[in-house]
Amino acid sequence: MSAVSDSGLASLQNGSDIRGIALQTSDNQVTLTDERIERIAYGLAVWLKEVKQLPVDQAHAIKVAIGYDSRLSAQRIQTILIENLTKIGIDIIDAGLATTPAMFMSTQYEEYQCDAAIMITASHLPYEYNGLKFFTKDGGAEHEDIAYILKNAAPHDITLEKSTGIVIKKSLLSDYAVDLVAKIQKWINDPTNYKQPLTGRHIVVDAGNGAGGFFATEVLEKLGANIKGSQFLEPDGNFPNHIPNPDNKEAMQSIQTAVLKNKADLGIIFDTDVDRSALVDHEGVTLNRNNLIAVIAAILIKENPGTTIVTNSTTSEHLKTFIEDLGGKQNRYLTGYRNVINQAIELNKEGIPTSLAIETSGHAALKENFFLDDGAYLAARILIADAVLQKENKTIISLIEALKQPVETDEVRFRILSEAVQETGMTVLKRFKEFIQKTPDLTVEPNNLEGVRVNTSGKYGTGWLLLRLSLHEPLLVLNLESDQQGAIKSLRQDLREFFTNQTDLDASRL
């Protein structure tokens, strides 16, 4: 039997990840069960053998690193993966607490030489969730790879000749930190204080009780920075303080408060598995979303004149102008970190120099860093630029002084009530486009790949809005931005009739 009888396995796919409920609550039953994790382990082995074509026999042991963030269910999942992968002859590096970027680097570091890596994480989702991300030397698994793994997730789908695999524990996160420290020292290259070039800088880190606390103690402090006021560095899968998410208002307010209270020079905040980050300057100005994209774009365009920056679809028109004025180009692409990364990779293949793939959520992948979305690497890159600016008596915010800020922004999330989410969503989008075409002072943007993007004028002032389907939830998401005070309130009022007439949508939030 080659197919999996457990039809619920397919529902665990979340784009290029696997995610499910790993802890039972009063509202939810466990979907990431022991049996399903066992099946997934075998599905991974089939994928490595048949798709990645790794030699799987007595003479060639596959080596897989497995790590996890602070989630409460992590070690249960890791134990099952190790038990079943070693049973079929795969050697394991037990990385323990780790970050998603560090797990990928286990396939790149000479001293590890792993064929694949598994990160146990569900990013910023509530504590009862968990999931799996997969990497090989070529990068992260794609949507079709996850589908293949789940389709082939059954113990009898693979038979290996090698005897039981071995398990070796290694402190991958410590090795990753040492590597990052060395890179920062080399880039700053301060001849007066090479080992501790951040001496005199006060930098606060908020790890949100995820896996990012190491960045304060093992990176910044080693580089001489004062980390007083850093918070929530201890791993705690209950996430008792705030959602570990740089795209969350409460989380950003938390790091802002910490920076201002401690009179720090900078603040850095990570998500749970540290593939995303954001910053706050000494005055509490947030460097996330469009501001974050602008900062790292400014750094990379200066180093790579004319380079292209790939972003997701919900970026500001002001950001486009900012990038072009610096001499760069923006490629506004589809939502989804794998989408923007793959687009950047493809553009480079086509001979279009592209240095960065980045989403407003904080996923940022640099060409120089394997196009790996790495929140710690992104923070390091910005810290290096900050160190240079300090010598010129400037701050990091000076990089985006020319970025015009909108007067108003808003987001409305409409829950799709029908079980046919995709079909309903596409129908509403078609109707919305027709509605816009008949409405004065609203114009459909033709150069747009996702949803319906609209430019505003006249009584609404200069601005834009975008209605798109959510990647992972049964939602239509409406983003609005305007340079005119009161315009969004007027837009919401004028759009209300359209949305309330869509019977398969919950328009109550409008």
| Residue 348 and residue 432 in one domain | no
The verdict on residue 17 lying in a domain is yes
> Given this model, what pLDDT does residue 61 score?
83
Domain boundary among 148, 170, 192: 170
**Collapsed DSSP state (helix, strand, coil) of residue 94:** strand
- Terminal Cα-to-Cα distance of the chain (whole angstroms): 50
Mean pLDDT calculated for residue range 63-90: 96
The verdict on residue 412 lying in a domain is yes
CA distances, 99 to each of 240, 372, 373 (Å): 20, 12, 11
| Residue 203 and residue 163 in one domain | no
3-state helix, strand, coil in the chain (%, to 5): 35, 20, 40
Q: Over 80: is that where the pLDDT of 156 sits?
A: no
Residues 6 or more apart whose Cβ sits within 8 Å of residue 134: 44, 47, 116, 117, 118, 140, 141, 145, 146, 149
> Given this model, what pLDDT does residue 162 score?
60
Burial class (CB in 10 A: 0-12, 13-18, 19+), 18: buried
CA distances, 491 to each of 282, 310, 411, 494 (Å): 35, 29, 12, 5
Q: Which tops the pLDDT comparison, 278 or 163?
A: 278
Domain boundary among 170, 199, 230: 170
The torsion angles phi and psi of 52, rounded to 5 degrees, stand at -80, -10
| Residue 377 and residue 496 in one domain | no
CA dist., res. 240 & res. 259, Å (int): 20
CA dist., res. 226 & res. 210, Å (int): 21
Residue whose entry in the numeric block shows the structure tokens 């793994």: 149
Burial class (CB in 10 A: 0-12, 13-18, 19+), 62: buried
Residues 6 or more apart whose Cβ sits within 8 Å of residue 272: 69, 70, 71, 121, 122, 123, 124, 208, 210, 211, 212, 239, 244
Domain boundary among 378, 400, 422: 400
The verdict on residue 263 lying in a domain is yes
CA dist., res. 155 & res. 42, Å (int): 6
The verdict on residue 445 lying in a domain is yes
| Residue 213 and residue 70 in one domain | no
> Given this model, what pLDDT does residue 56 score?
61
The verdict on residue 2 lying in a domain is no
The verdict on residue 261 lying in a domain is yes
What is the total count of domains within the chain?
Answer: 3
Residues 6 or more apart whose Cβ sits within 8 Å of residue 71: 22, 120, 121, 122, 127, 129, 130, 237, 272
| Residue 379 and residue 416 in one domain | no
Q: Over 50: is that where the pLDDT of 4 sits?
A: no
Local confidence band at 362 (pLDDT 50, 70, 90 cut-offs):
very high
Q: Which amino acid is at 322?
A: F
Tokens of 335: 């939502």
Tokens of 478: 């409406």
Mean pLDDT calculated for residue range 62-80: 98
Q: How far is CA 58 from the centre of its chain?
A: 38
CA dist., res. 376 & res. 275, Å (int): 7
Tokens of 150: 């789940």
| Residue 390 and residue 264 in one domain | yes
| Residue 371 and residue 496 in one domain | no
Q: 14 lies in which domain range?
A: 7-170
Burial class (CB in 10 A: 0-12, 13-18, 19+), 419: exposed
| Residue 49 and residue 131 in one domain | yes
| Residue 161 and residue 237 in one domain | no
Q: Over 50: is that where the pLDDT of 165 sits?
A: yes
CB 289 within 8 A of CB 295: no
Local confidence band at 154 (pLDDT 50, 70, 90 cut-offs):
confident
Mean pLDDT calculated for residue range 496-503: 97
> Given this model, what pLDDT does residue 2 score?
39
The verdict on residue 1 lying in a domain is no
CB 410 within 8 A of CB 221: no
Strand partners, 482: 408, 463
Mean pLDDT calculated for residue range 349-361: 98
The percent of residues in the chain predicted with pLDDT above 90, rounded, is 93
Tokens of 508: 């109550």
Mean pLDDT calculated for residue range 377-383: 98
The verdict on residue 158 lying in a domain is yes
Q: Over 50: is that where the pLDDT of 3 sits?
A: no
> Given this model, what pLDDT does residue 55 score?
73
293-341 pLDDT tens trace: 999 999 999 999 999 999 999 999 999 999 999 999 999 999 999 999 9
| Residue 150 and residue 211 in one domain | no
CA dist., res. 258 & res. 216, Å (int): 14
For the domain that residue 354 is a member of, what is the CATH number? 3.40.120.10
The percent of residues in the chain predicted with pLDDT above 70, rounded, is 96
| Residue 56 and residue 125 in one domain | yes
Strand partners, 416: 505
| Residue 157 and residue 202 in one domain | no
